[in-house]
Amino acid sequence: MAVGQNSPLFLGFDFSTQQLKVVTIDEDLNLVHQDRVHFDSELPEFRTNGGVHLHADRLTVTSPVLMWVKQHGSVYWRRGASATLDQLDPNQNLHNLLQDSFSVADSPVWMDSSSSRQCAALQAAVGGARLLAEISGSRAYERFTGNQIAKLQQSFPDQYQDTERISLVSSFAASLFLGGYAAIDYSDGSGMNLLDIRTRTWSKVLLEATAPHLEQLLGAPVPSTSVLGLVSSYFVQRYGFSESCRVVAFTGDNPASLAGMKLQEGNITVSLGTSDTVFLWLQQPRPALEGHVFCNPIDPEDYMALLCFKNGSLTRERVRDKCAGGSWEVFSAALRDTPLGNKGNIGFYFDTMEITPPVMGVHRFDSDDTEVSWFSPEVEVRAVVEGQFLSRRVHAERLGYSVVPGTRVLATGGASSNREILQVLSDTFNAPVYTIDLSDSACLGSAYRALHGSVAEFGVSFSDMLKKAPEPQLVANPHPAAQEVYDPMVKRYSRLEDTVLQKSRTQTTP
């Protein structure tokens, strides 16, 4: 959203689970203002825990819609955005006006996993999980909006019948600014199990399998760079917004993070945290049963992919404690002192049930692909790091990733401060590794998108717009022998992972 009178300002929001974050930048990408509202502590009347309500079945997780409305105005009131504000609660009129406007008072959020039956029905209706992924970019997920809509329609048909419009959190937030219904953007829309990611239109097959009259209730999706209109008079009169302030289509947190990370064609971001997350920029998607493929939020012709791995830093720390006496220095020394490829030894380390693949346990293989029960401490250290990064590359390639001239790996998260770990990452992907500071990347990416939305109609690319942004710092280049060592290991890892997965299924089959 572009705001301001003399020097234009650009406002980005992140409606996260526990708080609202807001960032304002100027046209030179300088940070002007930032703020946040914590739902539990600052809006206690909604009685949320971590921003949500966990229902008795332990599967249903929702957030109060009116809480999002009320915190929406709290940011402006706290900052004193307008000299004409009266002494009333700045949210009173909007809050009271909308309190009876929602057919569903509590909205399901991403943590909800109560729609398994609807997921199974959707996949069956289209011929299986793989065909659903080919159309929508993902197999059926309980948290995806299409399956939540199906559950609502089946559980509360009268409420569904009374519904005039269905919004995502992103398009709902944009609607508050517009004073009217905001369209769903392609990128967030492709995380619903409803959008055909190749035609960028709602899939009639998926709509019909989900709920009646759904195309009318959703409205037509729009490109993520679309300017939806001018901000409503409410924000002009009450908070001092410029009458010429334009609202750019809102998107989801992951697409916004891609924009905040300044990811470009051929780049890949690996976030090394409690869980490891991989972001990809793709031209030709290959949807699979794992991960997600979305329409790219900053390039209307391309795609992005997302992979999440539960076993990240906690697993690395467990091996550090066991094999390096709890010392990162000793751990790093083991990585320096062991050869690329670990003499053919490969390890799988799934301390908790993994997402991709759905396996739990530790599995070690020697250079002959024979499963063994033990590695020496130094080999174990390299095996856990190489194994994790081989996994990230294998699954990224299954979604369409490949190394091209100019490819960069952008590393973030706590483990990105360890140079030896990043050297293994560089070698495994055979690409240079850069580090970037990504605090509040979704919020910053939203502000970047607001700025881009104001110039996209003139043919300015997102990358051209960000030329003034700080550049990532180069921290590791691949070893000259990296490709020769790791290309064959990628194929071995993929084959051995299938073996581990099959073994896991055999052991769990009654």
DSSP at 343 = G
Single-letter code of the amino acid located at 343: K
Main-chain phi, psi angles of 490, to 5 degrees: -60, -45
Residue 76 pLDDT: 54
Q: Give the closest residue to 442 by CA, choosing from 9, 8, 22, 2.
A: 22
Least confident of 72-86, 103-117, 241-255: 72-86
Is 90 exceeded by the pLDDT of residue 233?
A: no
CA separation for the pair 114, 141 (Å, rounded) = 10
Q: Which is higher by pLDDT, 332 or 60?
A: 332
Would you place residue 1 in the very low, low, confident or very high pLDDT band (cuts 50, 70, 90)? Answer: low
Domains belonging to the chain, first-starting first, are 52-251 (3.30.420.40), 262-509 (3.30.420.40)
CA separation for the pair 192, 149 (Å, rounded) = 10
Q: How many CB atoms lie within 10 A of CB 109?
A: 16
Is 80 exceeded by the pLDDT of residue 97?
A: no
Q: Are 122 and 209 in contact (CB under 8 A)?
A: yes
Average confidence score pLDDT of the chain: 89
Q: Is residue 435 within a helix (H) or strand (E), and if so which, with residue range?
A: strand 433-435
What are 277-330's pLDDT values in tens digits?
899 988 888 898 889 999 999 988 999 999 989 899 999 999 999 999 999 999
Residue with tokens 């399956």: 147
Is 90 exceeded by the pLDDT of residue 498?
A: yes
Is 60 exceeded by the pLDDT of residue 172?
A: yes
Phi-psi category of residue 27: left, alpha or beta, with phi > 0 → left and psi -120 to 50 → alpha: alpha
Global pTM value: 0.83
Average the pLDDT over 229-241 and give the result.
87
Residue 4 pLDDT: 45
Is 70 exceeded by the pLDDT of residue 87?
A: no
